[in-house]
């Protein structure tokens, strides 16, 4: 079966879901606004520069979630989806997913953001296969420790290869859509790499290799969304 692989943040979603989760926590006063926003921004800059320590960032980003019971955490997430996800989910991304679905391709979202944040977003796209960073769960709660190999940079390749082995699938005819140079290890493996609104380093590589360059986020510049009002 042909695979259609999609990065999530700034690819299918016209925003960064992990960064926006932090903005949600700040907006609702669940963290110290100034210190958290500064740290969240610094980690995002490290991600863009390719210097991010994923374990350090995960411990930071999941700390508040790990302090809640699951019912509370998931209730927060429902509000987050309305305020900081759905306004950034554009029709071009939905149409791309549906194009591959109509072709009978196996759809997979593969992301360096954690499952707590991304599982409901994948469900919004109707994509059942999600490879994400997995939090350790203890005593019925999320922790801020990573379970197994994080799906980040080369880790995406490792996690995908494990998934392919378990399903007796191959990368024959495969597609992968991404915006980030952090995904070059996987882009180099698939048969059809596609750069989506790429960062400078990925754009340069795509132009060098003759990879297609497309935009799923142009609608955002034309009609920038306002985050939804906070839930009462």
* Residue numbers annotated as active site: 7, 9
Bridge partners of 130, per DSSP, are 109
d(CA 212, CA 62): 35
d(CA 232, CA 221): 29
Percent helix / strand / coil, the chain, rounded to 5: 50, 20, 30
Q: Is the dihedral of CA 220, 192, 202, 47 positive or negative?
A: positive
3-class state of residue 83 by DSSP: helix
- Residues 14-32 as b or e (16 or more Cβ within 10 Å = b): bbbbbbbbbbbbbbeeebe
Nearest to 117 by CA among 21, 232, 186: 21
d(CA 214, CA 217): 9
d(CA 51, CA 123): 30
């Amino acid at each position: 079966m042909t695979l259609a692989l999609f990065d999530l943040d700034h690819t299918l979603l016209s925003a960064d879901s992990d960064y926006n989760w932090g903005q949600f926590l700040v907006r609702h006063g669940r963290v110290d606004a100034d210190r958290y926003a500064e740290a969240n921004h610094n980690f995002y800059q490290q991600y863009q520069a390719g210097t991010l320590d994923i374990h350090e960032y995960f411990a930071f980003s999941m700390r508040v979630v790990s302090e809640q019971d699951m019912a509370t955490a998931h209730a927060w997430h429902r509000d987050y989806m309305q305020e900081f996800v759905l306004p950034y989910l554009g029709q071009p991304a939905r149409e791309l997913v549906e194009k591959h679905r109509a072709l009978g391709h196996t759809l997979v979202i593969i992301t360096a953001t954690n499952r707590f944040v991304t599982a409901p977003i994948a469900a919004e796209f109707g994509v059942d296969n999600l490879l994400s960073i997995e939090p350790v769960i203890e005593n019925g709660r999320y922790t801020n420790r990573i379970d197994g190999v994080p799906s980040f940079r080369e880790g995406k390749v490792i996690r995908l290869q494990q998934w392919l082995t378990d399903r007796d699938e191959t990368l024959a005819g495969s597609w992968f859509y991404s915006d980030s140079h952090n995904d070059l290890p996987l882009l180099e493996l698939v048969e059809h790499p596609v750069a989506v609104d790429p960062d400078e380093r990925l754009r340069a590589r795509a132009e060098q290799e003759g990879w297609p360059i497309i935009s799923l986020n142009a609608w955002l510049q034309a009609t920038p969304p306002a985050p939804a009002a906070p839930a009462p």
